[in-house]
Copies of this chain bind each other. A is one copy, B any other.
Amino acid sequence: MNTVAPTPPELPPPLPEPAREELKLETVLAALADPLRLQIIQKLLLESEDYDHPCGWFGFDRPKSSLTHHFKALREAGLIRQRQYGLERRSRVRDEDLEQRFPGLLALVKSWRSPGA
């Protein structure tokens, strides 16, 4: 019986991101201080169900260039990992890395009561 974990089915490589050890609390907090970005992370945490999501999935009524800006900020701060699937760039929260470095932080985001709801 072979108990080796199955090889993941060829994922596209992640876009450039800081390594786990490079994550800085100041930077992570600054990234989360923006309400839209907080909302992005919260939605991913609450609704993503193990799938990565392109930024259209979020349903924000904002110009695309604004969204690019915020997703990039999140990625560069180390909050999300992004992979390119054809045209789409899908995002997921780096929950393991974040929990390891900043335990409890994501729980706070999860239970955030956003002003808009």
Q: Which residues of A are in contact with B by a Cβ distance under 8 Å?
A: 24-26, 29-30, 32-35, 38, 102-105, 107-109, 112, 115
A30 to chain B: closest CB distance in Å?
A: 4
* Copies of the protein in its oligomer: 2
Cα(A105)–Cα(B35), bound, Å? 18
Report how far A62 CA is from B105 CA in the complex, Å: 31
A42 to nearest B CB, angstroms?
10
Using Cβ atoms and an 8 Å threshold, which residues of chain B touch A34?
A: 26
User: What are the nearest 7 A-B pairs in CB distance?
Assistant: A104-B104, A30-B33, A29-B33, A29-B29, A29-B32, A25-B112, A26-B35
The answer on a CB contact under 8 Å between A108 and B112 is no
